[in-house]
């Protein structure tokens, strides 16, 4: 090996190169709208060639600017209108294209065309997002993550608009504006941004206790994911499958990341926010660009319609999940995100997702939170995207033909021909005409509905703490510790003693010991509440049971001149074999040379990167021009990595740096010498990612 370029992705053949991936139908449709300005002459939007794009038209070189300068007017007019309203929630997001492949047919449950034939592939567009923060906030805030997938099916677009948490704060959409008002920056000072650690949010929680289950998830590591590629997705709501015989089955949707579910630690997440606000979007972009595609298996939970009332929770309650040990997740396919967007605004920002976009064979239920979302999303898109024709924007266009009598409106792009724009008619043979069910026409499930008009909540929605307790029981000791620490941080930021006390009393109903510790940490009285008696657990809820792979994780190599060539070469080659990314970090960007002449390119310096941006460190050490500074910076990287429970490998030439640090020998620390091959052990440690039993300082 002549040279190793830090940051280069090594492809071991286990993934396809993104450049060679066959384009799907949606990508080909988008191609016709793409314009490459490279090598072209500048023109106005009317196509008139421009002779000067730097100075406005003036009366004399120092005279007043003239109103007849039409190019200036057009340029400023367009610039003044470049921004559209950001989403009220889920404003900060990022997206990618890909495809969904079905493993096995679901025709026994649904007529949905994209779920009929094993091996069938459907183009998709997936957007990940934060909920609370503005468009300019950071990626790593503690927050729920959106997980929205648009399937471009042959029967129309189907949108599965979910989150990375299977439940929600509230049961009825009437309360959604109140929830968001509470979690957004407080109106009197517009602080804090993208954070729930403030009075109004926790006041809302304490006085709307249906949120107990969701808040347990929010205080867990799930809300600070390591990567969108390592995060689950859920449809949240209960939907219906309907088959060709008209039989309905209740269904919940799941996305299971192939790489498993992994998270940051809170101190690390806060530091990353300052070092790289785009940490998660950069991760997705770079991995797809280098052929390390994001993959998720698609699963469904199914409950027969006749079994709707056999559980001790209401299956239509959005604050409840269906424990996988009771209702197993059936894996039916896989989504692969393999193509980055060409233009973030044109695709990601203008993408219009809507839970009401369904196809034949999939239908709604009476979940009151879902019902409100169906109402709200269309209004949102009309407001953001300038009118009812947002479905004609390229990213939102279906891949199948669409015909109707809707006409005109802002930003109309279709040029409809003919004199008829109504139904019924004789001038066009009563076309476009409706389709029968047999022809694929959408027919809502014929659910029997009866009852009085009323504004009330079903008594079956009244249990708010059983599943919150179930979640707590399912956590590992490390996860429980993190939840308690999260509560202590968030509630500790609350100024109102009354609100803090209310929160502590509320969550004593989940676990008395947890609530008592929070009370001590935030300075309020011992909790007064009766703990839930639920003793069951659901192991599937713990991240500790997740998959372990080193694939696409990042290792920083702390290195200077004079390293052991053979030892370092073998380690780097072995890491590359397992799909691990390596970045050489040194005193300055350039080359470092081993004791026998091996040259490695240093791509990062201690000032251009940070230890929190890596999943692991390889401490090689060596000599530098400013040895004292090199040693000091290296020790800082070691201490930070050790404190965040990450693995490290210490080369023979790096032993003195490790000894000088505050890190200790123990779990996840691989010590080697020039005669010991330890790179396989290092790979296993990288795959584990965290060593929670490590004694920190």
What is the SS3 assignment for 74-125?
HHHHHHHCCCCCCCCCCCCEEEEEEEEEECCCCCCCCCCHHHCCCCCEEEEE
Give the least confident one: 233-242, 472-481, 673-682: 673-682
Dihedral, CA of residue 451, residue 454, residue 460 and residue 464, to nearest 10: 170
| pLDDT at residue 228 greater than cutoff 80 | yes
Query: Does residue 130 contact residue 163 with C-beta atoms inside 8 Å?
Result: no
Q: How far apart are CA 27 and CA 61, in angstroms?
A: 49
Residues of the chain with pLDDT > 90, as a percent, come to 84
Residue 192 DSSP SS3: coil
Cα separations in angstroms, 429 against 337, 385, 403, 426: 44, 34, 15, 5
Tell me the two tokens of residue 489: 């941080």
Q: How big is the CA angle at 109 (ends 104 and 112), to the nearest 5 degrees?
A: 75
Spot the catalytic one: 24, 130, 163, 357.
163
pLDDT class for 2, splitting at 50, 70, 90? Answer: very low
pLDDT at residue number 697: 63
**What does the alpha-carbon distance between residue 255 and residue 233 come to, in Å, rounded to a whole number?**
5
203, two tokens: 């006041």
What confidence score (pLDDT) does residue 621 get? Answer: 96
Residue 95: Cβ within 10 Å count: 24
* Residue tagged active-site, from 90, 237, 464, 644: 90
Do 93-396 and 471-544 fold alike per CATH?
Answer: no
Strands 554-559 and 362-363 come out as unpaired
Q: State the DSSP code for 461.
A: G
**CATH 3.40.50.880, applies to 548-688:** yes
Assess contact for 146 and 127: CB atoms under 8 A.
yes
Output the pLDDT for position 638: 98
Contact between 567 and 558 (Cβ < 8 Å): no
pLDDT of residue 9: 35
List, in order, residues 6 or more apart from 480 with CB less than 8 Å away.
Answer: 472, 514
Cα torsion through 593, 594, 600, 602, rounded to 10: -60
Give the pLDDT confidence score for residue 44 in this predicted structure. 87
- Distance CA(513)–CA(533), nearest Å, equals 14
Whole-number Å distance between alpha carbons of 673 and 17? 36
Task: Report residue 60 CA to chain centroid gap.
Answer: 55
| Residue 189, CA atoms < 13 Å, CB-side half-sphere | 5
Q: What is the mean pLDDT of the chain?
A: 93
pLDDT at 674 over 90: no
Nearest 5°: phi and psi at 306? -70, -10
Distance separating alpha carbons of residues 265 and 245, to the nearest angstrom: 50
Give CATH superfamily name and number for 471-544: Catalase, four-helical domain (1.20.1370.20)
Are 583 and 4 a contacting pair, CB within 8 Å? no
**Is residue 403 annotated as a catalytic residue, yes or no?**
no
Tokens of 63: 């005279």
Cβ–Cβ < 8 Å for 382, 411? no
Q: Report residue 513's pLDDT band, with 50, 70 and 90 as the boundaries.
A: very high
What is the spatial distance between Cα 108 and Cα 245, in angstroms, rounded to a whole number? 9
Three-state DSSP at 114 gives: helix
140 neighbors 272 (Cβ within 8 angstroms): yes
- The 10s digit of each residue's pLDDT in 616-637 is 999 999 999 999 999 999 999 9
- Taking 3-state DSSP, the helix, strand and coil percentages for the chain, each rounded to the nearest 5, stand at 30, 20, 50
pLDDT recorded at residue 23? 66
Tokens of 393: 């924007």
Element (H, E) at 64: none
Confidence of residue 239 (pLDDT cuts 50, 70, 90): very high
Backbone angles phi, psi at 274, to 5 degrees: -85, -30
Annotation marks residue 208 as catalytic: no
**Across the strands, what pairs with 159?**
150
Say if residues 179 and 170 touch (Cβ distance below 8 Å).
yes
Tally Cβ neighbours within 10 Å of residue 392.
16
pLDDT above 50 for 13: no
Tokens of 353: 């997702």
Instruction: Please report the pLDDT score of residue 643 as a whole number.
Output: 96
Q: What pLDDT does residue 528 have?
A: 87
Give the C-alpha separation, 540 to 641, whole Å: 28
Instruction: State the pairing for strand pair 294-304/330-340.
Output: antiparallel
Write down the pLDDT at residue 18: 37
Residues facing 302 on adjacent strands? 251
DSSP assignment of 229-273 equals GG--EE--S-EEEE-TTS-EEEEEEEEEETT---B--HHHHHHHH
pLDDT digits (tens, 9 = 90+) for 451-493: 899 999 999 999 999 999 999 999 999 999 999 999 999 999 9
- Tokens 């709707």, residue located: 308
Tell me which CATH homologous superfamily contains domain 93-396.
Answer: Catalase core domain (2.40.180.10)
Q: How far is CA 442 from the centre of its chain?
A: 31
Do 230 and 551 form a contact (C-beta atoms < 8 A)?
Answer: no
- Whole-number pLDDT of residue 6: 39
What are the tokens at 210? Answer: 């249906």
As a dihedral over the C-alpha atoms of residue 59, residue 60, residue 61, residue 66, rounded to 10 degrees, the angle is: 0
Q: At what angle do helices 565-577 and 679-688 cross, to 10 degrees?
A: 40
Longest CA pairwise span in the chain (Å): 90
> DSSP H helical segments within 355-492, as ranges?
368-385, 466-473, 477-492
Confidence class for position 253, pLDDT limits 50, 70, 90: very high
Say if residue 651's pLDDT is above 80. yes
* pLDDT at residue 562, rounded to an integer: 96
Q: In the predicted model, is pLDDT for residue 349 greater than 60?
A: yes
Give kind and range of the element (H or E) at residue 609: none
Q: How confident is the model at residue 405 (pLDDT cuts 50, 70, 90)?
A: confident
Q: What is the DSSP string of 346-364?
A: IIIIT----TT---TTEE-
- Residue with more model confidence, 545 or 94: 94
What does the block give as tokens for 513?
A: 């010991």
Indicate the pairing of strand 616-621 with strand 554-559.
Answer: parallel
Token pair, residue 632, equals 């000091």
Q: What is the rounded distance in angstroms from the CA atom of residue 540 to the CA atom of residue 471?
A: 10
Residue 224, judged by CB atoms within 10 A of its CB (0-12, 13-18, 19+), counts as buried
**Nearest-angstrom CA–CA distance, 510 and 213:** 9
In Å, how far are 138, 216, 291, 409, 417 from 414, measured between CA atoms?
38, 48, 37, 11, 9
CA 541/CA 661 separation, integer angstroms: 36
Spatial CB neighbours of 415, under 8 Å, sequence gap ≥ 6: none
**383 contact partners, CB below 8 Å, separation of at least 6:** 85
What ranges do the domains of the chain cover? Answer: 93-396, 471-544, 548-688
For residue 94, give every residue at least 6 positions away whose Cβ sits within 8 Å of its Cβ, in sequence order, or none.
127, 128, 129, 228, 280, 281, 284, 285, 344, 348
Are 514 and 444 in contact by the 8 Å Cβ rule? The answer is no
Q: What is the DSSP string of 301-331?
A: EEEEGGGTT-SSS-TT-TT----TTTS--EE
């Amino acid at each position: 090996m002549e040279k190793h370029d830090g940051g280069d992705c090594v492809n071991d053949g286990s993934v396809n190169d993104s450049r060679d991936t066959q384009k799907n139908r949606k990508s080909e449709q988008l191609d016709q709208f793409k314009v490459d300005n490279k090598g072209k002459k500048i023109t106005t939007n009317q196509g008139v060639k421009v002779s000067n794009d730097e100075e406005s038209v003036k009366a004399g070189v120092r005279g007043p600017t003239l109103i007849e300068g039409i190019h200036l007017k057009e340029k400023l007019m367009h610039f003044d209108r470049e921004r559209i309203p950001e989403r009220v929630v889920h404003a900060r997001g990022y997206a990618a294209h890909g495809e969904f492949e079905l493993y096995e047919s679901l025709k026994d449950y649904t007529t949905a065309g994209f779920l009929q034939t094993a091996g069938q592939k459907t183009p998709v567009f997936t957007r990940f997002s934060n909920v609370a923060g503005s468009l300019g906030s950071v990626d790593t805030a503690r927050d729920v993550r959106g997980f929205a997938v648009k399937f471009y099916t042959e029967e129309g677009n189907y949108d599965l608009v979910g989150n990375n948490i299977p439940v929600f704060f509230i049961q009825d959409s009437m309360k959604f504006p109140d929830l968001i008002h509470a979690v957004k920056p407080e109106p009197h000072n517009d602080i804090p941004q993208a954070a729930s650690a403030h009075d109004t949010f926790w006041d809302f929680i304490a006085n709307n206790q249906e949120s107990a289950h969701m808040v347990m998830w929010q205080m867990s590591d799930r809300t600070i994911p390591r990567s969108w590629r390592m995060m689950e997705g859920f449809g949240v709501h209960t939907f219906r499958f309907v088959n060709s015989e008209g039989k309905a089955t209740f269904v919940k949707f799941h996305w299971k990341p192939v790489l498993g579910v992994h998270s940051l630690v809170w101190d690390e997440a806060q530091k990353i926010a300052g070092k790289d606000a785009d940490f998660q979007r950069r991760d997705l972009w770079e991995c797809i660009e280098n052929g390390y595609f994001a993959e998720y298996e698609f699963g469904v939970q199914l409950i027969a319609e006749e079994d709707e009332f056999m559980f001790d929770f209401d299956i239509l309650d959005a604050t409840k999940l269906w424990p996988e040990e009771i209702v197993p997740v059936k894996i039916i396919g896989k989504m692969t995100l393999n193509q980055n967007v060409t233009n973030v605004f044109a695709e990601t920002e203008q993408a219009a997702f809507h839970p009401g976009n369904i196809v034949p064979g999939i239908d709604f239920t009476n979940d009151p939170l879902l019902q409100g979302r169906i109402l709200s999303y269309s209004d949102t898109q009309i407001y953001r995207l300038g009118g009812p024709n947002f479905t004609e924007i390229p990213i939102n266009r279906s891949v199948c033909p669409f015909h109707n009598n809707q006409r005109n409106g802002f930003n109309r792009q279709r040029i409809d021909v003919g004199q008829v724009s109504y139904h019924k008619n004789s001038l066009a043979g009563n076309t476009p005409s409706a389709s029968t069910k047999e022809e694929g026409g959408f027919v809502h499930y014929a659910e029997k509905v009866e009852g009085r008009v009323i504004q009330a909540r079903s008594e079956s929605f009244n249990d708010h703490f059983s599943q919150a307790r179930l979640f707590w029981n399912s956590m590992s000791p490390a996860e429980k510790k993190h939840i308690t620490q999260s509560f202590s941080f968030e509630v500790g930021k609350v100024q109102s003693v009354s609100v803090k006390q209310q929160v502590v009393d509320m969550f004593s109903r989940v676990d008395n010991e947890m609530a008592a510790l929070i009370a001590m940490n935030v300075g309020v009285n011992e909790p007064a509440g009766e703990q839930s008696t639920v003793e069951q657990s659901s192991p599937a809820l713990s991240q500790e049971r997740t998959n372990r792979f080193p694939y696409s994780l990042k290792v920083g190599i702390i290195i200077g001149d004079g390293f052991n060539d053979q030892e370092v070469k073998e380690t780097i080659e072995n890491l590359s074999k397992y799909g691990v990314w390596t970045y050489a970090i040194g005193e300055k960007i350039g080359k470092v040379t081993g004791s026998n002449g091996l040259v490695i390119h240093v791509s990062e310096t201690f000032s251009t990167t940070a230890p929190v941006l890596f999943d692991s460190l390889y401490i090689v050490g060596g000599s530098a021009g400013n040895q004292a500074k090199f040693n000091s910076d290296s020790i800082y990287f070691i201490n930070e990595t050790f404190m965040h429970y990450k693995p490290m490998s210490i080369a023979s030439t790096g032993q003195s740096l490790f000894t000088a640090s505050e890190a200790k020998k123990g779990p996840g620390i691989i010590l080697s010498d020039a005669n010991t091959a330890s790179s396989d052990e290092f790979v296993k440690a990288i795959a584990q990612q965290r060593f929670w039993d490590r004694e920190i300082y």
